[in-house]
Amino acid sequence: MSGAMHTMTTTLLSPGFGLGLRPAHYNDIIATPPAASGIDWFEILSENYMVPGGKPLAMLDRIRRDYPVVMHGVSMSIGTPQGPSDDYLRELKKLMRRVEPLWVSDHLCWTGTHGANMHDLFPLPYTEEAVATVVRNVRRVQDYLERPLLLENVSSYLSFDSDTFQEWDFVAAVAEESDSLILLDVNNVYVSSVNHGFNPITYLDALPARRVQQIHLAGHSVQEGCIIDTHDQAVADPVWALYAQALRRFGKVATMIERDDNIPPLSELSAELRRARAFAEAL
């Protein structure tokens, strides 16, 4: 990577507290003065706006006049041998030019292969080969986008016999070797810690602090002996406790509340966001 890119990846942007932009909240967001909303920025699901026109883009343009945005993808499939397609990256960069995001993120996973997207976030085997594959793909993406990429740890419900890394060491290795940044999903760390029986603090302690750019907080569901990352509940108390530990480890990192189903009124999510802000202010 170039020296300029290295400087970008190790200089964190201003932190703050954001929400995921969801269509159910468009009208309330527009009707509320930004100074009164308590929301510093919105995270958009990139693929929802990688379209030629229509209401989603029109609403995004309107909201973007008042708020910064960050872009979060769900189908880059950075872990496949072939990596993201040229067409995908072209459309992603087109959206970047339109909204000028604070940063761009996706997931440390694979979502399909040979041109087929299965619309799920599948975990990778934690091996040297997988590290090399992801690093190669991340470098290509960062060179094309001309900016660092944030990669989010996903929740998992199984492990591979071929694993030679712990998950946290795998995440750290990818970030360091590709010179990329980390989107730390605290809920996913908690979910996986329960499902696999590890100490979540061990996970946090293993990550390079200078590379943690953003934190996700979300809710989960308990189903038949395991925890599922469903994003349809309020943030659970154990996740709040782990968030407090993450703040002590990484500082006042930009934080966002995620809600993708059973979406409550904007005021309810704003109250959760105020709770996150209070945790940070208590440091």
- Residue 165's SS3 state is coil
Number of domains in the chain: 1
Report pTM.
Answer: 0.92
Closest by Cα among 221, 208, 189 to 251: 208
Closest by Cα among 120, 114, 133 to 74: 120
Please list the residues that pair with 184 across neighbouring strands: 215
CA distance 172 to 181: 10
- Looking at residue 214, what is its pLDDT? 98
DSSP string, 84-101: S-HHHHHHHHHHHHHH--
State how beta strands 116-122 and 110-113 pair: antiparallel
Q: Which CATH number does the domain housing residue 58 bear?
A: 3.20.20.150
Domain extent for 137? 3-281
Please list the residues that pair with 254 across neighbouring strands: 214
Neighbours of 82 (CB within 10 A): 11
Alpha helices in the chain (DSSP H): 3-9, 26-31, 34-37, 55-64, 86-99, 128-145, 167-178, 186-196, 200-206, 237-250, 266-281
DSSP annotation of 46? G
Please list the residues that pair with 105 across neighbouring strands: 72, 150
Count, residues in the chain = 283
Instruction: Extract the tokens encoding 167.
Output: 């998950």
Per-residue pLDDT of the chain (283 residues; tens, 9 = 90+): 333 333 333 334 557 999 999 999 999 999 999 999 999 999 999 999 999 999 999 999 999 999 999 999 999 999 999 999 999 999 999 999 999 999 999 999 878 666 666 566 778 999 999 999 999 999 999 999 999 999 999 988 888 999 999 999 999 999 999 999 999 999 999 999 999 999 999 999 999 999 999 999 999 998 877 888 888 899 999 999 999 999 999 999 999 999 999 999 999 999 999 999 999 999 8
What contacts 53, CB < 8 A, 6 or more positions away?
none
